[in-house]
Structure 1
């Protein structure tokens, strides 16, 4: 579609913008995708746009798309640029573009208010642990120094770690920084549904799942990618996000000598993590007791993040154990 004509109907981009590869692909949304500080862009139909610049969502009263038809065209074009297809038969798609911009699209009729776009915009730089400490991830003063030392030791000792938190809490950014701190001679292989990890490491390899084509063939899921990754001799095996039955393959791999691995998991609190893992394990046909035994021996630390206003912070650290019934429990470490 003609994204230039769409963009021309709107005011010029603000002065404080970044060099964002491919921002022009987003048509009338380009100036928001390129704007410094923007972390999320949400379109809820042709007349409803919300932006998060790090401090929470703000509605943009001065924005509108010419019509629902044009917005749909834009969404379909964005998905196509990400190598996937969306239409009435497959009305949802999740794609990655350029330097890690992640886009989810939902079309009517499953989106009755109009086409929906959810755009996650990563920072242009790739913050390491030093940068995250400066931003307050580990707290302040002596507390921050102690937490940072603890994390450095965990990376050096090749502890298997699970990064947890709610959406937007900084799990992927933190995991990227942890992996960047691994020794340069180690081979890191990450498996993701849609590639988001951006790791400054000389030997980082990413594998990305593939959806089936229109005939239902050619799909490659996360569970298979994990099995393939094991044949590639990883020193550190990473699952970008634990979201389904592939948790069985991850736990199995981490229980067979693959130290230094990591993954992320959506959870609202540290106490919620055992139940989330049990739910994912059930999708793979695992009993709660099997999930508990595998998890206790596979994962050494749980690092839980919380978002507090514009700040992401390491809120709690936990270690798995078994309760009296052989079910999974978690104990705070610090």
Structure 2
């Protein structure tokens, strides 16, 4: 876009925004076209009108230049680090894509608009945002948003989008793809059938939710599962599932419903199993409480580098809720049975790499004893 053209479009954008605000209407394509014709007084040619509409639609609706990337079902992450520096993740590492914004101001406008869509603010007084967007993109996927603006982001506005598509792969497909090796298949299904309490650990993008979703599909159909998540990812193929999703605070800082609150509510919903999509804070205490009140077979996911690090990771999270080390290990020993570790190879394949069992040391602390590890295939490592 040439400088004079960019200036005209920027002026037009401000005028259209004023009209839309005065009308209090949603900026859909038809409304934008009507406002543009009104503002131009009928002086724009068809070519100029089309160019203006494309520009305004990008600036006012959806995810702007990122819409096409969100429409790609293989894309899991979109990262913007500058007007002409856009990266995506499609399961084989980050790759740069030929998507560009007009300038830094355009990136910031999109970040601010997405923040408002998540019910948050992004400005000089609050220079970062962490929230969740519901139903953006052509397919209406939920998206986890993080954005940061200068001067904290030294080189310009940064936007990070994680596309939260439901984990719908079933157990048979996971086994067929090598995500669960045949030698350990019976061990995995036995953990579920015997109602053992377990957690799935691994790094970001390692496939924790996909693995957990597949295991939940193996639960006896007569059992009732209540799933609590920060963002809706789990959707097991099971006839009796209740899904609860946390809510972030609005722009006034009120209205938040935390995962911890939902775990407490789940205890009152006559569950056979309580599933916490990701334990990342003081809700670990409530999960352990649920595990120790007769709700066998409960499960969750946890960020950890390996199965052996689970006790230390839970110690840190429990400390946020005021629970000391001794009390945490006492509850953990009685509550948890098995730990599954998942990881992703450099070629994008994801799968189970380690299985551990909970043991109690002589001093009363919990340790994780290795039952199986994936050492027979090159390229796999612990999470």
TM class by smaller structure = 0.7 to 0.9
Unaligned 5+ runs, structure 2: 1-16, 18-26, 30-50, 56-60, 373-383
Q: What number of residue pairs does the alignment pair up?
A: 313
2:111 corresponds to which residue? Answer: 75
Shift of 1:288: 1.4
The CA deviation string for residues 23-53 of structure 1, in whole angstroms up to 9 with x for no partner, is x832211222222422222112322211112
When the two chains are superposed, the root-mean-square deviation of aligned CA atoms in Å is: 2.5
Matches within 5 A, 1:116-127: 116-122=158-164, 126-127=168-169
1:328 corresponds to which residue? Answer: 366
Unaligned 5+ runs, structure 1: 10-23, 139-143
2:265 to 228, 232, 239: 228
Q: Of the two, which has the highest radius of gyration?
A: 2
Shift of 1:123: 5.4
CA distance in 2, matches of 1:216, 1:312: 38
TM-score, normalised relative to structure 2:
0.75
Q: 1:234 to 1:72 in 2, by over 3 A?
A: farther
Q: 1:298 to 1:6 in 2, by over 3 A?
A: farther
Shift of 1:80: 4.1
Matches within 5 A, 1:50-69: 50-60=87-97, 62-69=98-105
CA distance in 2, matches of 1:79, 1:227: 29
Contact preservation (8 Å) 1:169, 1:306: yes
Shift of 1:8: 4.9
1:43 corresponds to which residue? Answer: 80
CA distance in 1, matches of 2:209, 2:288: 20
Shift of 1:209: 1.8
2:41 corresponds to which residue? Answer: none
Q: 1:124 to 1:330 in 2, by over 3 A?
A: closer
CA distance in 1, matches of 2:133, 2:288: 27
Shift of 1:76: 3.4
CA distance in 2, matches of 1:7, 1:127: 40
TM-score, normalised relative to structure 1:
0.85
CA distance in 2, matches of 1:119, 1:278: 30
1:106 corresponds to which residue? Answer: 147
Shift of 1:245: 1.0
2:174 corresponds to which residue? Answer: 132
Contact preservation (8 Å) 2:167, 2:233: no
Contact preservation (8 Å) 2:142, 2:165: no
1:31 to 33, 53, 68: 68
Shift of 1:97: 2.7
Between 1:296-305 and 1:218-227, the stretch displaced more is 218-227
